[in-house]
Amino acid sequence: MKSFEWLLAWRYTRGSHKDGFISFISIMSMLGVMAGVALLIIVLSVMNGFQREVRERMLSVIPHVQVYPQPNAADGWEKTLTESIKKNPEVVGVAPYMTSQSIILHDSEMIGVKVEGIDPTLEASVSDVPKKIIAGQGDLNDLRAGEFNIVVGVELARRLGLEIAPDQFVLGEQITLLAPEVESTIAGTLPRMRQFNVVGIISAGHFEIDNAYVYLNVSDAKALYRDGNRGLRVKLKDMEEATVVAREIEETAPMRVFAQDWSSINPAWFSAVKTEKTMMAIILLCIVIVAAFNLVSMLVMTVNEKKADIAILRTQGASRMSIMKVFMTQGALIGGMGTSLGVGLGVLVALNIGSIVHGVELLFQIEVLPKGVYFISTMPSQVRPNEVVTIAIASFCLSLLATIYPSRKAANVEPARALRYE
């Protein structure tokens, strides 16, 4: 790149008093790129924050891996399989469980729920369920085998009328669980049901869990639900390794088992935010594309305005490639400055989005994230450096692509025709 090419590109980018409109369009093009890049970084960071919140809240009460034995597994399979799983260096905890669908009968109400049978003494090693108890004993000691006690989600407790004051619940109420199985008796075929005492309330921070999950002692669950899914809950050092560890458990287990990682236990919950993030990224990328089109328009107008200058340069020996480099450099400068400013603004806002939203709430007396709906009091955000770099590179490349047509148009200017009326 020759020095005069850089100087001309910078002069055209900076503009002059005679080129006031061109300078204005240059600034607007740069601001367009900056806005697109900043918005893309901010929105993706917020979506990353929500994705992290959903994952952490869900994985605080559901296991990283669930392991199911074959239906005809021999007695004592739990101990044998647990010893095998614990040999994996990624495993930090293993606990038995049983799950089933059920119906709660209470005061003429019928509510469908998901029953989780757990071992109170081992559950803390595989999940944060004991830490989520907001009423009752946090260590789950009340879920003693044979006493048929139960812990219910906070939203479910409200539906059952157990809330006597805001965030205050009455314990000791009896509810009836109806199993999806029947039992043959002398009187005929009757549904299996059992009364349970409510001894705790859990708040996982996720509506689906708080509204439809109940927890029993695994022994009580086995006594009521003979056809429920039995297995082991496994917690790992790194939840991102769940898929790999699940396959390793299947390969090394002393019996035939099926291992399911957290991403496939409830795929709809974890894929929803990811899909929304992808669609939002595509929509916001269109803003950057529109800014690139503005850059094309600006450069075309600059070329038309500077035809005489281009013709003089050509008559003085400047090659077509040199003319192309001038306008490509001008576009690269505008795109590069817009991208740099956009990255700086986007990262700055994304890192402080919680404080900004809180300030807006105080200023306008509004609640952006109602706690009763989202269970999140502040706007979450997570800036991922790899995404920021990708956005910056994509934006700059689009800016460079936008310079190709105007630069070729400038290089094809005929000196004689351009100077005919000058």
Q: What is the mean pLDDT of residues 127-133?
A: 88
Span 80-94, mean pLDDT?
91
Q: Give the closest residue to 116 by CA, choosing from 105, 127, 108, 125.
A: 127
Whole-number Cα distances in Å, 207 to 54, 117, 154, 345, 374: 11, 20, 9, 34, 8
Q: Measured in whole angstroms, how far is the alpha carbon of residue 236 from the centre of its chain?
A: 20
**Mean per-residue pLDDT for 138-161?**
88
Contact 151, 140 (CB under 8 A): yes
Banded pLDDT at 406 (limits 50, 70, 90):
confident
Closest by CA to 353, choosing from 46, 53, 44, 47, is 46
Strands of 309-411 (E only): list them.
Answer: none
Is the pLDDT at 54 greater than 80? The verdict is: no
> Chain centroid to CA 278: how far?
10
Which tokens go with 84? Answer: 């095998």
CB atoms within 10 A of CB 113: 21
Chain length of the chain: 422
The helix-helix angle for 385-402 and 320-351 (nearest 10°) equals: 150
Q: Cα–Cα distance between 313 and 320 in angstroms, integer?
A: 10
- pLDDT for res 184: 65
- Residue 48 pLDDT grade (very low, low, confident, very high; cuts 50, 70, 90): confident
With 0.95 as the threshold, say if the pTM is over it.
no
**Once rounded to an integer, what is the mean pLDDT over residues 347-353?**
92
pLDDT at 412: 82
Cα 70-71-75 angle, rounded to 5 deg:
85
b/e per residue, 56-89, with b = 16+ CB within 10 A? Answer: ebbbbbbbbbbbebeeebeeebbeebbebbeebe
The angle, 0 to 180 degrees and rounded to 10, between the axes of the packed helices 267-305 and 307-315 is 70
Element (H, E) at 387: helix 385-402
Q: Which pLDDT value is given to residue 116? A: 92
Average pLDDT over residues 18-33: 74
Residue 109: other Cβ atoms inside 10 A:
12
Q: Rounded to whole angstroms, what are the CA distances from 44 to 132, 206, 221, 369? A: 29, 22, 43, 18
Strand partners, 394: none
Q: Which tokens in the block code for residue 128? A: 């944060």
pLDDT tops 80 at residue 344? yes
d(CA 260, CA 272): 19
Q: How far apart are CA 309 and CA 186, in angstroms?
A: 105
Phi-psi region of 188 (alpha: psi -120 to 50; beta: other; left: phi over 0): left
Measure the CA–CA gap between 245 and 268, rounded to whole angstroms. Answer: 22
For the chain, domain boundaries: 3-56+270-419, 63-265
Q: State percent of the chain over pLDDT 70.
A: 90
Question: Comparing 162-166, 268-272, 374-378, which segment has the lowest mean pLDDT?
Answer: 374-378
* Whether pLDDT at 18 is above 70: no
Cα 221 from Cα 230, distance rounded (Å): 10
Tokens 């009455």 map to which residue?
170
Q: How many Å separate Cα 223 from the centre of its chain?
A: 39
Burial of 180 from C-beta contacts in 10 A (0-12 / 13-18 / 19+): middle
